[in-house]
Amino acid sequence: MKIGIVCYPTFGGSGVVATELGISLAEHGHEVHFITYKQPVRLELISHHIHYHEVSVPDYPLFHYQPYELALSSKLVDMVKLYKIDLLHVHYAIPHAYAGFMAKQMLQAEGINVPMVTTLHGTDITLVGNHPFYKPAVTFSINNSDVVTSVSQSLKDDTLRLFNITNEIDVVPNFIDISKHVNPYTDCQRELMAEPHERIITHISNLRPVKRTFDVIEIFDRINKKIPSRLLIVGDGPDKSAMESMCIQKGIHEQVAFLGNSNEVGKILCFSDLFLLPSEKESFGLAALEAMASGVPVISSDTGGLPEVNEHGISGYLSKVGDIDDMAQNAISILSSSSELEKFKKQAKEVAAKFDTKLIVPKYEELYEKAMSHLVQV
Ligand code: GMT
């Protein structure tokens, strides 16, 4: 099948999932076309089954806002016609599902029928999409997609609660290629980051308020008072400088390293002992799954889809949002005994294996078939 994938090309989870999906589909023999404004960060164009088409939005002084949706839907029309793309899979409702629908309509006017699969990722529903300014367009795009998927049952429930949805929603969880996480490094070079007696704790996110980044510092501070540790913060975002100030204020700045956005997440997780994700909202928590696949137990909040990923008492622990004392207590209980830590590391990997690419990507392929048959029936 020839599949056009639309996504955000940045470090966000939805772009990572879309990119990994495209790579896996290409390995299954499909021809994959990424259509977005920049080459996705995790995409290496090493396969002749993978193409990347850049959407450019020319600057024009009359426009206060440059019309990206217009440029994207025009590019979709052109690419579908040029490469005879069979199906569009758009990740993140805003504005991708809307632009995809417009492209479908334009193509239909020329007698070309292309089904569209929309995957809902989280903030497109729970934060941004729910805003009254966007809600009618998001509702319309979901209801007019041929197939709609959400990355967790929790996100499906939120979508049905927040929008007037008449379409079916299939839950397809996010996934991870377990084979790429089976100890790829003979030496993690842990000594570069910490003293032998210190534990290494990691947080990876876009450092936005929804991640409760200040809770990360508070939890670490409590752990560090009992167990000498280092905190590695991966990612970049609006909370970063306030987090740095907080570390200085608490006198723990020498224990905390801000590593910025990184393409070496696997290496960082290789020497990590614990992962913190105390988010306010999280439709799935792909970063937690990546940590678990690398054998890193997760201390997280119990919001949204996190309980579907992080199994309480097995791959880590769940606490109520904002309960930093409980999160710190749970972290200390794992880190204070090497045998306990080893047990959780092993269990985290076992839970992550339930989300292996091999098990999940065929679900998308089945839904592509469903979308194609939908087209035949219409
Ligand atoms: O976490 C973010 O804010 C980024 C956002 C995105 O769209 O890239 O992440 C959402 O999608 C991820 C991939 O499906 C999920 O793992 C995240 O849980 C979800 N984020 C939220 O719901 C806050």
Residue 246 burial (CB count, 10 A): 19
pLDDT at 146 over 70: yes
Does ligand 1 come within 6 angstroms of the Cβ of 175?
Answer: no
Does ligand 1 come within 6 angstroms of the Cβ of 25?
Answer: no
> Shortest CA distance to 206 belongs to which of 131, 272, 282?
282
Each domain of the chain, given as residue ranges in start order, spans: 2-175+357-377, 179-355
Residues 291 and 298: beta-carbon distance below 8 Å:
yes
pLDDT digit string (tens) for 14-47? 999 999 999 999 999 999 999 999 988 878 776 7
| pLDDT band for position 259 (cuts 50, 70, 90) | very high
Which ranges of 48-197 would DSSP assign to H, the alpha helix? 68-83, 93-109, 123-126, 135-143, 153-162
Does ligand 1 come within 6 angstroms of the Cβ of 235?
Answer: no
Residue nearest to atom 4 of ligand 1 (CA): 12
- How close is the Cα of 16 to the center of ligand 1, in Å? 10
CA distance 78 to 95: 18
Structure tokens at 291: 């940590």
Query: Using CB atoms within 10 A of its CB, is residue 155 exposed (0-12), middle (13-18) or buried (19+)?
Result: buried
Q: Name, in order, each residue with C-beta under 8 angstroms of 336's C-beta and a sequence gap of 6 or more.
A: 226, 227
Structure tokens at 328: 């710190």
Residues 103 and 115: beta-carbon distance below 8 Å:
no
Identical fold between 2-175+357-377 and 179-355: yes
| pLDDT band for position 340 (cuts 50, 70, 90) | very high
Furthest-apart CA atoms within the chain: distance in Å: 68
Cut 0.75: pTM above it:
yes
Rounded to an integer, the average pLDDT of 189-205 is 92
Asked: is 179-355 a CATH 3.10.450.240 domain? The reply is: no
pLDDT digit string (tens) for 3-14? 999 999 986 889
Selected from 3.40.190.150, 3.20.20.70, 3.40.50.2000, 3.40.50.300, the CATH number assigned to the domain covering 2-175+357-377 reads 3.40.50.2000
